[in-house]
A and B are shown apart, each in its own frame.
Chain A
Amino acid sequence: QKEVEQNSGPLSVPEGAIASLNCTYSDRGSQSFFWYRQYSGKSPELIMSIYSNGDKEDGRFTAQLNKASQYVSLLIRDSQPSDSATYLCAPTRGDSSYKLIFGSGTRLLVRP
């Protein structure tokens, strides 16, 4: 079992739709959770962080966390073609407050 599981995609949505990206993790000690966006050939860019159960909204992005189910998700509302990228889920390791474990990412394609 991978430490962080993400559907590799591509997830294809039309412009203006809601994109839903999901992630499960195996380390029950993970405390902090991050979503990174990575454009092809570029480095990852932090777009969302979430630390407690529930929802956290920032502009068009909403992160959702359920620690009991070891599940974290990212919703992107009003998806734009510029959102087309790979989204990496990254929880902290249970034995560290700062080291992250990365999933291999979900590729999102927003169709104009």
Chain B
Amino acid sequence: DAMVIQNPRYQVTQFGKPVTLSCSQTLNHNVMYWYQQKSSQAPKLLFHYYDKDFNNEADTPDNFQSRRPNTSFCFLDIRSPGLGDAAMYLCATSSRTGSGYTFGSGTRLTVV
């Protein structure tokens, strides 16, 4: 089945230690997104790739970076995680035609 896969499902990292979350898709969608979701809050868009074009949201901290080496894979790098970065990180994909997102299962990040 075509899907969006996120690894790892749970990630524990130390305060200030760089961490990378990964996402892959078999849907061949043009657009890939990274969202941060904290408890009882709306998912917050960090950035997205439209094909190879990177689009950063204005309020995304510099501490967050992303890479999309090919159509199938996208990575979220957190350079120096703080306690406030503990959250669920959601990867999603969509086509350019506005048919909604397909989400991966998410990565729950804990910062200790």
Chain A residues at the B interface, C-beta cutoff of 8 Å: 4, 8, 31-32, 34, 41-46, 49, 88, 90, 92, 97-100, 102-105
B: which residues have CB within 8 A of A?
A: 31, 40-43, 45, 48, 88, 90, 94-106, 108
Complex contacts, A98 vs chain B, CB 8 Å: 31, 94-98
CB–CB A45/B41 < 8 A? no
| Across-interface contacts of A92 in B (CB, < 8 A) | 98
Complex-state Cα separation, A105 to B103, whole angstroms: 16
Tell me if A99 and B40 are in contact (CB < 8 A): no
Residues of B within 8 A of A31 (CB): 98
How many angstroms between the C-alpha atoms of A97 and B99 in the bound complex? Answer: 9
Q: A44-B43, A44-B90, A104-B42 are in contact. List 19 more A-B contacts (CB 8 A).
A: A31-B98, A32-B100, A34-B100, A43-B90, A43-B104, A43-B106, A44-B103, A46-B100, A49-B99, A88-B42, A97-B98, A98-B31, A98-B94, A98-B96, A98-B97, A98-B98, A99-B48, A102-B42, A103-B42
Q: A8 touching B31 by the CB < 8 A rule? A: no
Are A104 and B106 in contact, with the CB atoms below 8 A? Answer: no
Q: Which residues of A contact B96 (CB under 8 A)?
A: 97-98
Q: Which residues of B have CB within 8 Å of A42?
A: 105-106
Asked if B41 and A104 make an inter-chain contact with CB atoms under 8 angstroms apart, the answer reads yes
A110 to B88, CA, bound (A): 25
- Chain A residues with CB under 8 A of B108: 41
- For residue A86, which residue of chain B has the nearest CB? B40
Q: Contact between A104 and B40 (Cβ–Cβ < 8 Å)?
A: yes
A90 to B40, CA, bound (A): 16
7 pairs, A vs B, C-beta closer than 8 Å: A8-B40, A32-B99, A43-B103, A46-B100, A46-B101, A99-B45, A99-B48
Given A102-B42, A104-B41, A105-B42, A45 and B100 contact (CB-CB distance below 8 Å): no
A105 to B45 CA separation, bound complex (whole angstroms)? 16
Q: A4-B42, A43-B106, A44-B43 are in contact. Are A100 and B48 (CB under 8 A)?
A: no
Rounded to whole angstroms, the CA-CA distance of A41 and B105 in the bound complex is 10
Q: Are B105 and A100 in contact (CB under 8 A)?
A: no
